[in-house]
């Protein structure tokens, strides 16, 4: 039995692309209007790579060579990741706390200071983990966005508070066994997640303090007033990250970023003008450890409505308040206060000034140029200023402001800090050589 022969299918003519007609990426005959391979290739993850799969898989950034005929393409895209810190803090790391929302600013500041391998990272709201903290003359550098920090000696993860206290006290005991006096701070990060743990931190501190007192009978725990008064002593710190994680370590008080618990320097202003501006200056003077004395001459640029002038007048300093706007009547009536209604950018003093103060809502580079002029002309010997930072890259802007003060002015020993009462701003201090 024979089957009928099947007819061969007719070959369809190949259509060539014409000008203006759409063409296909594959199967088109080369010629006028024909297209080549697509410029972008989609890998298995859905990412587009203009260099093709080979460049992505190799990870070196060079243009890939065309594979030989029959060479298989890689099935998976392999990425090279930079070495990173582990997910958990461990001894040797530094933990730093900052204002909630300023975590990336602190990371950027550390990177600008040279902490890049491995890079610092955000651990939790208001907490940053770093492999190290840059030092200058064997002391940690002033980090503008770091409120407090310490090198981690012990990291504890446990549900039971007694277990946390026992393990933490055992670790701190090894660090304090030769001390005659020490201070102990147990604190939480200043964040929406950390602040509700304050009562837990207080209970943990009591348990740790009791165990240290028993294990170190020769050492005496000092209060915060003695911590600020004495030159140097071991400062044991415990940070409660969350209900199950704590880290602890010891620094000397003269090398600590702050002597306040968790770096929170809360300031109260007595009298009839307790504004946030007044609290900012009170905290700045406490941070500096020096302030204007009675009879010293101060200039307050951008003084209205008078918060900083009020703080200076309380110290019986003479104040020249410079601002086109008016001061509050009760401040203007204070003894030693003189108000000049003119621009801070055109004002020039008639006599040498002891202190220059400046808190103006002005662009940071223009404010820095104004402060540099005062340093260059040596119109004042000390300076305290507040620089507004509404931009995203705050660490970069601080570096630019510092550069202007150093290169265009004659200011020395420049310090920058985002204080507890600062918001999107930092406080700068300096003095002429």
pLDDT in tens, 1-14: 444 455 555 555 55
Residue 112 within any structural domain of the chain:
yes
Looking at 263, 296, 322, which one is the last position of a domain? 263
Which residues, at least 6 apart from 148, have a Cβ–Cβ distance to it below 8 Å?
A: 96, 97, 187, 237, 256, 257, 258, 260, 262, 263
- Structural domains counted in the chain: 2
Q: How many CB atoms lie within 10 A of CB 232?
A: 11
Residue 65 within any structural domain of the chain:
no
Torsions phi, psi of 300, nearest 5? -115, 100
The pLDDT, as a whole number, for residue 77 is 43
Contact between residue 133 and residue 96 where contact means Cβ atoms under 8 Å apart: yes
What are all long-range contacts of 404-409, with beta carbons under 8 Å and residues at least 24 apart? 404/365, 404/368, 404/369, 404/372, 405/368, 405/371, 405/372, 405/375, 405/430, 408/369, 408/372, 408/373, 408/376, 409/371, 409/372, 409/373, 409/374, 409/375, 409/376
Report the alpha-carbon distance of residue 221 to residue 240 in Å, rounded: 21
- How buried is 36 (Cβ within 10 angstroms: 0-12 exposed, 13-18 middle, 19+ buried)? exposed
Q: How many CB atoms lie within 10 A of CB 28?
A: 16
Residues in the chain predicted with pLDDT less than 50, given as ranges, are: 1-4, 16-71, 74-86
258 and 296, same domain (yes or no): no
Catalytic status, residue 388? yes
Q: Which residue has the tokens 């770093």?
A: 130
Residue 271 within any structural domain of the chain:
no
Helices (H) and strands (E) in the chain, counts: 10, 20
pTM: 0.77
205 and 331, same domain (yes or no): no
181 and 253, same domain (yes or no): yes
Enclosing H/E stretch for 374: helix 364-376
Range of the domain at 284: 276-432
Report the alpha-carbon distance of residue 253 to residue 251 in Å, rounded: 6
Q: Which residue has the tokens 């004395």?
A: 293
The pLDDT, as a whole number, for residue 272 is 61
413 and 326, same domain (yes or no): yes
Report the alpha-carbon distance of residue 162 to residue 56 in Å, rounded: 51
Residue 308 within any structural domain of the chain:
yes
Residue 353 within any structural domain of the chain:
yes
Looking at 216, 234, 263, which one is the last position of a domain? 263
Contact between residue 368 and residue 387 where contact means Cβ atoms under 8 Å apart: yes
Task: Identify the CATH number of the domain in which residue 177 sits.
Answer: 3.30.2130.30
The catalytic position among 5, 36, 388, 394 is 388
Strand partners, 121: 129
Residue 37 within any structural domain of the chain:
no
Looking at 263, 286, 320, which one is the last position of a domain? 263
The pLDDT, as a whole number, for residue 17 is 46
Q: At what angle do helices 103-112 and 394-407 cross, to 10 degrees?
A: 50
The pLDDT, as a whole number, for residue 271 is 65
Chain-centroid distance, C-alpha 145: 4
The pLDDT, as a whole number, for residue 90 is 84
105 and 184, same domain (yes or no): yes
Task: Identify the CATH number of the domain in which residue 343 sits.
Answer: 3.40.50.150
The pLDDT, as a whole number, for residue 26 is 42
226 and 287, same domain (yes or no): no
What separation in angstroms does the CA of 315 have from each of 97, 163, 291, 302, 430?
32, 50, 9, 19, 20
Report the alpha-carbon distance of residue 351 to residue 6 in Å, rounded: 112
Residue 182 within any structural domain of the chain:
yes
Torsions phi, psi of 271, nearest 5? 100, -160
Residue 12 within any structural domain of the chain:
no
What is the residue-wise DSSP string for 215-240?
H-TT-EE--HHHHHHSS--EEEEEEE
């Amino acid at each position: 039995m024979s089957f009928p022969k099947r007819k061969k299918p007719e070959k369809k003519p190949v259509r060539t692309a014409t000008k203006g007609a759409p063409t296909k990426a594959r199967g088109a005959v080369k010629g006028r209007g024909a297209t080549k391979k697509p410029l972008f290739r989609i890998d298995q993850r859905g990412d587009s790579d203009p260099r093709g799969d080979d460049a992505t898989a190799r990870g070196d950034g060079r243009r890939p060579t065309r594979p030989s005929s029959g060479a298989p393409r890689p099935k998976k895209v392999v990425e090279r990741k930079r070495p990173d810190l582990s997910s958990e803090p461990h001894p040797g790391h530094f933990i730093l706390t900052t204002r909630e929302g300023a975590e990336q600013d602190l990371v950027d500041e550390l990177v600008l200071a040279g902490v890049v391998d491995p890079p610092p990272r955000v651990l939790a709201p208001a907490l940053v983990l770093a492999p190290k903290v840059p030092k200058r003359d064997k002391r940690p550098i002033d980090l503008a966005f770091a409120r407090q920090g310490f090198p981690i000696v012990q990291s504890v993860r446990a549900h039971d508070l007694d277990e946390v206290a026992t393990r933490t006290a055992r670790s701190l005991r090894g660090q304090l066994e030769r001390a005659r006096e020490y201070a102990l701070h147990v604190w939480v990060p200043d964040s929406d997640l950390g602040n509700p743990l304050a009562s837990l931190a207080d209970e943990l501190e009591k348990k740790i303090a009791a165990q240290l007192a028993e294990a170190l009978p020769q050492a005496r725990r000092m209060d915060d007033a003695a911590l600020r008064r004495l030159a140097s002593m071991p400062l044991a710190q415990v940070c409660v990250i969350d209900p199950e994680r704590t880290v602890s370590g010891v620094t000397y008080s003269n090398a600590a970023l702050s002597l306040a618990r968790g770096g929170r320097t809360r300031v109260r202003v007595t009298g009839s003008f307790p504004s946030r501006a007044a609290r900012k200056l009170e905290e700045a003077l406490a941070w500096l450890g020096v302030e204007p004395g009675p009879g010293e001459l101060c200039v307050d640029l951008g003084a209205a409505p008078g918060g900083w002038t009020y703080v200076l007048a309380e110290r019986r300093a003479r104040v020249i308040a410079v601002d086109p706007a008016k001061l509050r009547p009760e401040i203007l009536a204070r003894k030693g206060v003189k108000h000049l209604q003119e621009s801070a950018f055109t004002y020039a003093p008639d006599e040498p000034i002891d202190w220059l103060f400046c808190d103006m809502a002005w662009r940071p580079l223009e404010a820095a140029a104004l402060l540099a002029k005062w340093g260059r002309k040596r119109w004042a010997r000390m300076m305290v200023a507040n620089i507004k930072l509404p931009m995203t890259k705050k660490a970069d802007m601080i570096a630019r402001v510092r550069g202007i003060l150093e290169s265009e002015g004659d200011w020395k020993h420049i310090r920058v800090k985002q204080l507890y009462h600062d918001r999107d701003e930092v406080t700068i201090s300096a003095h002429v050589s």
